Amino acid sequence: MEPDAISTLYREISGYPTPISAFVTANDYMALLNGTSFTLCTEWSQTETVRGARLHYAQQWTLIQNYRQETDINIQPPSPCSLLHGEFLSSYSLSGDLKAVVRVTSGQVVVQQFLEVWSNRCLKKILDLSALNKHGRVYEDAQFGCLAWSTCESRLLYVAEGKRSIGESYASASSPSAGEPRAGPSEGPSEKDKSVYWEDWGEGLTSKSVPVLCVADVAKGTVTVLQGVPSHVSPGQGLWAHDGESVFFVGWWHEPFRLGLRFCSNRRSALFCLDLEGNCECLSGDTSSVSSPRLSPDGRYLVYLEGQVFGPHSQCLSMQQYDLETRKISVLVDVVNRPKKDEFAGLYEALPPRCWASDSQRVVFSSARRNWRDLFVVDRTTRRVTRMSAPEKFGSWKLLTIQNDLMVVHCSHLNEAPRLVVAFLPLAGGEGEVSWDHLGESCLLGAIVNVLDVSPTPQEENPEYSGLDFGALLVTTNHLPSRTKVPLVVFVHGGPHSQFFAEWNVTTAVLVKLGFAVLMVNYRGSTGFGQDSIFSLAGNIGSQDVKDVQRAVLTALADQTAEKLLTLDPDKVVVMGGSHGGFLACHLIGQFPDFYKACAVRNPVINAATLLGTSDIVDWRYSSVGLQYSYDQLPTPEALTTMLQKSPITYAPQIKAPVLLMLGGKDRRVSPYQGLELYRSLKSRGSPVRLLWFAEDAHSLARVDTQADCFLNVVLWFQQHLYLH
């Protein structure tokens, strides 16, 4: 456990690449005697800690479908990896013959943006977006961003920042339509307006304020900002209608002011259709939240996800179907309130960009099911949802694409690094029997994974939502002598409405390799266990979730049967977590001061009352403690008292465990001064505390060098206070 050895191990395990996108092209001109050839183009991300960078590279496979048995795939050796330089955003045309790339270059004075169109042979067209001066920075994020080809493959739809007019404030209630022309950057603000405040969309979207829909005509070399977007919404997630004469998009309400969008599926929004003449129509209801619109191959059906506004920031969603011919909306997949153990548990994540089967009758998607992420298909006519993944074979599954009925899935497990598997979607009715083939060799970690199903005691039950259970994942090494006593790291996820999947996790993998056992807890309120579980946490943070984590720890410690290879050491238990996970970790060391020997937290919520005025999701500060929220809400003494009473700062005098705090100076979700509040409280009492301040990082502490620094410090902190030298 020397620092250099820890860093070397972290560098090795964090360097396993992760697939992030895939595109399939049918090579009709390469049809073989025994099958049809497909080209699979994939993009991967790889962490490189020496330079503190995330590398993106491309790799291709040729796959041959066997005519004699359609499910058989002959996989040819992959091409060498090729590094992608400066690709900000990219998209293949429907035929696969063209690839559009938004490339950003940084000069000494300004940042330049180019839109490139590549054919199979060469660069076909380039547009200097900065010189055209129609808009600001192109959006690349998953919330708003898109780069969509029209069916004729002559136009591209994307989202960019609208140009700001002189004296105009995005914070103003009289914000102009997103399609209205704006003054160029060269004109600049007047002297009296140069310091005016411009709203943005919060954590992870700080450079996004007023998005506009843009169309690039490849042949003409022109860019047009579409007119007609309603002035009260901000557009994103655009896609073309089948005829290429109109576009669909999601519009988020930004009045009276913007709330944080990242990780929040509960923002008021609707599905719109806008033709190229500027006529706009709302297709969905306007009192819900919507996302992920996806058009069927025949151009008749739109599916999208729908949820409630406000309340839990991430909820179980329904899948809606809009029939463009009859103009009727129907529910394709409904919200699941309380799933049975091995059944479909609901929809909790965005649909992949290409999720329709070629018959326009079925939609394939990934979603959480208890401690797993599984692969499902829903039949549009029968509404039947069928699971197609086999967790015991490949772990957790995430669909990257389905094209020509070829599914490309990213699979991983807590003891197996990410890899790709492929299969053809069987005919309707046969989806339960899918023949999967993997691409490349698996990289196994010497670890044992135990899935725990945990039930609260009668005293810990929620009377309004009784009978709920929850889950946990216990990961231990298989490289130590039998009956070795190992220290236990309790790892608590944030959110709180998120979860730990049984999938590759670098932090867990390295900790286990170093000889720790890791317990990852999905307490009540985590996604994947139904809507009732999510709603049960409202008003009960700081109590129900704390009790669940402690119950999971006691369950793991008690499950030490004779056949267990390792024994968890009850005298060497530590806890770590970030955001709401940090909130829970600090509660645990305060409520159980003699149980935990050390604590490490990233950007924790410490005092919900003082966080109220500084967070980009102020609505959640009310909802989490069981209070209703409205935009004109003013804090009351009663509300602030409730928030304070549910906060870990009230337990600070009882804390005995040494605390390591890791804070991002640019965190918009949980102010770094939350952590400083605990730091000062502990310092005043002489309690051991150490604070790491990352001035240029935000809530996720996602920079490569930051993550490596944090991990090293966490391990050394645990080593020091567990006396593991």
**pLDDT tens profile 494-543:** 999 999 999 999 999 999 999 999 999 999 999 999 999 999 999 999 99
Residue 186: the pLDDT is 41
* Least confident span in 400-414, 455-469, 476-490, 545-559: 476-490
Rounded to the nearest angstrom, the gap between the alpha carbon of residue 383 and the centroid of all alpha carbons in its chain is 27
Rounded to the nearest angstrom, the gap between the alpha carbon of residue 89 and the centroid of all alpha carbons in its chain is 18
Residue type, 449: V
Strand ranges of the sheet holding 155-161, from the earlier edge strand across to the other edge: 147-149, 155-161, 211-217, 222-225
What distance separates the 2 farthest-apart alpha carbons in the chain?
79
From the candidates 56, 313, 493, 699, which is the catalytic residue?
699
Is residue 302 a contact partner of residue 360, using CB atoms and an 8 Å limit?
A: no
Question: CA 375 → CA 134, 292, 425, 429, 480, distances in Å?
Answer: 41, 17, 12, 16, 35
Residue 317 has pLDDT above 60, yes or no: yes
Confidence of residue 607 (pLDDT cuts 50, 70, 90): very high
Task: Work out the percent of the chain whose per-residue pLDDT is above 90.
Answer: 83
Residue-wise pLDDT for 431-479, tens only, equals 888 889 999 888 888 899 999 999 999 999 999 999 999 999 999 998 7
Residue 183: the pLDDT is 36
Strand ranges of the sheet holding 599-602, from the earlier edge strand across to the other edge: 447-454, 470-477, 517-522, 484-492, 566-578, 599-602, 659-664, 689-694
Is residue 699 flagged as an active site residue?
Answer: yes
Is residue 579 flagged as an active site residue?
Answer: yes
Greater model confidence, 39 or 178: 39
Residue 98: the pLDDT is 96
Quote the pTM value: 0.94
Residue-wise pLDDT for 156-192, tens only, equals 999 999 987 644 443 443 344 444 433 334 445 567 7
Is residue 154 flagged as an active site residue?
Answer: no
Strand ranges of the sheet holding 437-439, from the earlier edge strand across to the other edge: 396-403, 406-413, 416-424, 437-439
Confidence of residue 489 (pLDDT cuts 50, 70, 90): very high
Q: What residues have CB less than 8 Å from 122, skipping those under 6 apart?
A: none
Beta bridge partners of 102: 89, 115
Round the average pLDDT of the chain to a whole number and report it: 92
Residue-wise pLDDT for 326-356, tens only, equals 999 999 999 999 999 889 999 999 999 999 9
Other C-beta atoms within 10 Å of 30: how many? Answer: 12
Domain 447-724 class in CATH: alpha beta
Taking the C-alpha atoms of residue 605 and residue 648, their distance in angstroms, rounded to an integer, is 8
Taking the C-alpha atoms of residue 630 and residue 314, their distance in angstroms, rounded to an integer, is 18
Taking the C-alpha atoms of residue 107 and residue 114, their distance in angstroms, rounded to an integer, is 13
Question: Helices 3-14 and 506-513 sit at what angle, rounded to 10 degrees?
Answer: 140
Q: What angle do CA 549, 523, 510 make, to 5 degrees?
A: 70
Alpha helices in 96-191 (DSSP H): 129-132
Residue 416 has pLDDT above 60, yes or no: yes
Confidence of residue 68 (pLDDT cuts 50, 70, 90): low
From the candidates 579, 623, 647, 700, which is the catalytic residue?
579
Residue 106 has pLDDT above 90, yes or no: no
Is residue 305 a contact partner of residue 319, using CB atoms and an 8 Å limit?
A: yes
From the candidates 532, 616, 667, 709, which is the catalytic residue?
667
* Least confident span in 401-415, 428-442, 670-684: 428-442
Residue 564 has pLDDT above 90, yes or no: no
Is residue 104 a contact partner of residue 112, using CB atoms and an 8 Å limit?
A: yes
Beta bridge partners of 53: 48
Residue 420: the pLDDT is 96
Q: Is 10 helix (H, G, I), strand (E, B) or coil?
A: helix
